[in-house]
Amino acid sequence: MNIYRKYEKYFFYIILFGLIFSFSFYYNHIDVDYWVRLIQGEAFLNLGHVLTSDFYSYIPSGKWIDHEWGSGVLFSYIQKSFGYPFIVILKSLLIFFTVFFAIKTIDLQENKSTKLYNILYFYFAFIQAYYIVLNSGIRCHIFTFFFFSLFLYILEYVRKRNNNKPLIILPLLMILWQNLHAGCIAGIGLLLIYTIGEFFNRAPYKKYFITFIILILTLLINPYGIDYLNFLLTASTMSRPMLDEWQSAFFNRGFFAFFKFKIFFIIFLLTAIYSFLKNILQKKNFDYTLLFLMLTVTYLAIFHIKHHSLFIIVFAIFLYYDFYFLFNSLINKIKSLLNINSENFINKFVLTKELIIYAYLCLTIIVTMSAAHIRPTAEFNKYPIKVAEFIKINSLKGNILAPLEVNSYLAYKLYPYILIYEDGRLEQVYSQISTNLLWNFYMNGDTLIFEYYNKPDYILINNQYPNFDKLMNNKDYKTIYNDGNNYLLSKKELLKNNYIEPTNDLYYYQKTIFDKPFTFKNQNFN
């Protein structure tokens, strides 16, 4: 038992990383925005600068302010140099260190009521409730969750240890963060919350405010200059009705939608209410910084699915000991009812329970990895893979109108022979008008889009859309191929006598998933 306790911390971290690693490979999907990350990253590595114009869309667009350009460079370099499995390893490391700094922040808290390394707590909080991040392919916002957790640790270290030196590194971290993902606004928000909260706590707050000002100034250190600040303001306030992650999990959704998160949301919220009431009854100093922080992430989590992870990070950190105080109080009452007083029996029971839990989690890792895919699979339900292959082998050229979520894939696979309408870079490149037109076309069958822009040469329609029959019933177009889910329509004047059918060889599609006809070498792009 003493040996187990001596090495428990290391065992804890090994199992935690094993869980994150195995789930990351099990959910080895390619995110819909990953394709445009590769395009920007390859351009920078070959040309030495970021792309500032949208060259693969056939509609008018503005300057491309790519707030994720640094992520694209990193993704492109890793995939080209080491292969896609190392992208998944990067995802695992970022999630692991997000949890690691959350644990370090928990360790800074006072009034400790239990040991730090309760593996089930972190398993449920950061693997089950955090499943939105784990279940998807690597996305740029994973950098935001990592830096958010790191910022919280530094700010709490400064507050709890009364040591201001770590604040010096925040501007350096912000330079990295802002060039990897626009979620850096969360770091700005943290400094603002700590400034206001410590002011109300009647504690030293000027150091946070000065750091806040410096962070604002560092936002200018990017390839776009002052335009980046304008972009952040626009992106933070615009509506995104076509993007599910920016909608609410609590409104206009079924009870079981995001059910795991909702369960943890309720548990954490009740624990938070208990914590604040306990402090009031015990007449302890009220922590306004913590109150403002919890209120902010609660609001964000209620109205945006994308911000669920920020809620999990904050509440899992600051309610760890309160949760276990309630949990241990319940266990003590049960022991009292069962008249269990033997300390030796209790210690053996606790040790046995922990070993069983670790054995179960080890088995979970083994089973998950045995079912995982080391290399990315060809996701026919997610991407029109066979449609893209059909377009390629039949040498089709022109403009294509397709659903928003597959356009980056089509641009990556078919440019320069095929130009898309627009992809997921909504606030970065396109106008709200063009986005609304696309939304109304696929969701309502509204053809107003053809009055604003020329009719495309091809239209891609998925049979899951509510107005599928209405969309298919267009006298100017005829279906030339379908893969069972996606239907490719062509203008009648572009019809050919014969078309080559794409192969059904799954291995071929998996092997060529990242192949594309275009390279930036020896090309002149701005």
Scan for tokens 């030293």, then name that residue: 204
Q: Omega of the bond prior to 416 within 30 degrees of 0, cis? A: yes
Which of 318, 313, 320, 317 has the alpha carbon at shortest distance from 148?
Answer: 313
The two counts, helices (H) then strands (E), for the chain are 24, 5
Per-residue tokens: 58: 């056939």
Kindly report the CA angle at 381 between 376 and 385, in degrees rounded to 5? 70
* pLDDT computed for residue 290 by the predictor: 95
Q: What is the 3-state secondary structure (H, E, C) of 317-342?
A: HHCHHHHHHHHHHHHHHHHHHCCCCC
Beta-sheet pairing, 477-482 with 458-462 = unpaired
Give the per-residue pLDDT at 342: 62
Count CB-CB contacts under 10 A for residue 389: 20
Euclidean distance between CA atoms 353 and 520, whole angstroms:
57
Question: What are the DSSP E strand ranges found in 209-362?
Answer: none
3-state helix, strand and coil shares in percent for the chain, rounded to the nearest 5: 60, 5, 35
CA distance linking residue 67 with residue 232, whole number of Å: 9
Q: Where are the alpha helices (DSSP H) in 27-129?
A: 34-47, 69-82, 84-107, 119-123
Cα angle 260, 261, 266; round to 5: 105
Instruction: Please state, in angstroms and rounded to a whole number, the distance separating the CA atoms of residues 441 and 444.
Output: 6
pLDDT given for residue 327 in this prediction = 81
Give exposure, 457-480, as e/b (b: 16+ Cβ within 10 Å): bbbbbbeebeeeeebbebeebeeb
- 435 burial (CB, 10 Å; 0-12 / 13-18 / 19+) is buried
Domain locations in the chain as residue ranges: 2-30+83-331, 385-511
The answer to whether 355 and 490 are in contact (CB under 8 A) is: no
Pair 105, 156: CB distance under 8 Å: yes
Predicted confidence pLDDT, tens digits, the chain (526 residues):
567 667 888 899 999 999 999 999 988 889 999 999 999 999 999 999 999 988 999 999 888 999 999 999 999 999 999 999 999 999 999 999 999 999 999 999 987 878 888 888 998 888 766 666 777 789 999 999 999 999 999 999 999 999 999 999 999 999 999 999 999 999 999 999 999 999 999 999 999 999 999 999 999 999 999 999 988 888 877 777 777 888 898 987 777 788 888 888 999 999 999 888 888 887 778 899 999 999 999 999 999 988 999 999 999 999 999 888 888 777 777 767 767 666 665 666 677 888 889 999 999 999 999 998 888 888 898 999 999 999 999 999 999 999 999 999 999 999 999 999 999 888 888 888 999 999 999 988 899 999 999 899 999 999 988 888 888 988 899 999 999 999 999 999 999 999 999 999 999 999 999 999 998 875 666 5
Q: How far does the chain reach from its first CA to its final CA, in angstroms? A: 64
pLDDT of the residue at 116: 87
**pTM exceeds 0.85, yes or no:** yes
Token pair 């009292």: residue: 336
